[in-house]
Amino acid sequence: MADAAKAITGDALAGCGIALGFITFAMLVASAVVPEALHPVMDRAGRGIVGAAAVGILVVGLLYGCVAAVARLALGAFYAGLGSKSRQLRDTLIVRGHASPAPYAPASASALVLGSFMLFAVLVCVILAAEHRGRLGDEMHRAEFTVWAVWAGVFAVVTACCAAAGWMFSVLNRRWQAGVGSSLPKGVLGDRGPSVWVTTRAQRRAQRRSWRPLDWSAWVGRLLVGGGGGVVFLGVYLRQPGLYADRITYSDNTERVVDGATVVGGALFVLGMLVVTGAGVLAFRQTIRALRRASTDPMRVSDDDRRRIRAATRTLSSTASAALVWWTVCTVSVIGWWFANHVHMPADGTAAAIPLPVSASFLIGWGVIGLLLVAARVALEAVGPVVRNRFGYDVASVPDDREYPDLAQFGQ
């Protein structure tokens, strides 16, 4: 359950980050194709989504640190119940890696990051309050000074609480090492993650010779995503090579070429995302079918089925993660759009907002989909060890041609 909660929170955090990057990417493409008259509306909606994604990253990031600490504590408690020479301990170390000697470190990091943001907010509030301090005789300035002074006090209290939490977590780490950590089997504590195969360039070329069309499709999709995104940012760079640089104008033919290349890059990016998504869905279906054949009639299992079954844990989990990540992206976008329609900021000026027609039934259905994805993620985390124990497990591979050129497996 701790692993499932950590995975779900991590997917939500990744979704907020992708929403932040995706809306930025979409606004860059739109700046080249959307008429000038619609730019204020587009900017207003974009700021709403960016704000929602930023708040989501801060809140979910704080939650992720706490959940990651719980997962580390659970892993340490699990290792404490295993024998020092049991095969289960060796296999678990391969799949899950070391138990951290500082299980509360993620929660401490989250508290310190939040405290840093709050300290920055204190400085901003103090500066704003200082602007009105010299004119306290005026009622309006006195009211503004009071508001900013109160907020500075609130943020200062939160900053102090975050600092105290960071110190408390460091004390808890020492107590955990003296208690549970000292009772763990030898070699369990450390900072190494799950074992990985370190592959050389020659090994990866040999592996690609056995790729199926689906594997090549996923590779081409990732290539299109990277190439399309690069073309878009190149077009933006040609227009404005710096955040505060003046916008560069070219001749009419060059302008059309830059705009066309930006649009083509955006289209390649979207096409690559569709190809990667389609390849992931097909891989998920083929893995499910291979598992069913292996369960009903093991004699019908092919070599390709065995390859998919041994990677089933990663395939199923990554598919559920991808679905939950994109659900989060859509949710953050809708929340940001709603914020842009209902809250008017000074930067919006007189820009009108495009209403988002969302009914209550749609929101209920969307929430049910999210709950189903969360339930699927929990179920897959629970069934993962069963699949590994029955059908085997393929250690993940990591390319590295410099640091470990002759080491077949790192982390054993």
Q: What is the pLDDT of residues 267-291, one digit of tens each?
A: 898 899 899 888 888 888 888 888 8
Condensed to tens digits (0 to 9), the pLDDT of residues 87-126 reads: 888 888 888 888 888 889 899 998 988 888 889 888 888 8
- Number of Cβ atoms within 10 Å of the Cβ of 175: 11
Q: What are phi and psi of 198, to 5 degrees?
A: -90, 115
The whole-model pTM stands at 0.76
8 Å CB contact between 327 and 373: yes
Helix, strand, or coil (residue 399) = strand
Tell me the CA distances in angstroms from 33 to 133, 243, 255, one per residue in order. 48, 20, 12
Condensed to tens digits (0 to 9), the pLDDT of residues 303-320 reads: 777 777 777 777 778 888
Question: How far apart are alpha carbons 288 and 57 in whole angstroms?
Answer: 33
Kindly report the length of the chain: 412
Question: How far apart are alpha carbons 125 and 140 in whole angstroms?
Answer: 17
Condensed to tens digits (0 to 9), the pLDDT of residues 357-368 reads: 667 788 888 889
- Number of Cβ atoms within 10 Å of the Cβ of 121: 17
Nearest residue to 43 (alpha-carbon basis) of 19, 55, 26, 58: 26
Q: Is the pLDDT of residue 374 over 70?
A: yes
State residue 412's pLDDT score.
Answer: 46
8 Å CB contact between 323 and 331: no
Least confident of 12-16, 53-57, 296-300: 296-300
Q: What is the mean pLDDT of the chain?
A: 80
Q: What are phi and psi of 17, to 5 degrees?
A: -65, -40
Name 410's bridge partners. 196
* CB-based burial, 335-373: b 16+ in 10 Å, e otherwise: bbbbbbbeeeeeebeebebeeeeeeeeeeeeeeeebeeb
Condensed to tens digits (0 to 9), the pLDDT of residues 121-178 reads: 888 888 888 877 766 666 776 777 788 888 888 989 999 999 999 899 989 988 888 8
Share of the chain above pLDDT 70, in %: 86
CB neighbour list of residue 407: distance below 8 Å, 6 or more residues apart:
198
Nearest residue to 351 (alpha-carbon basis) of 42, 33, 26, 28: 42
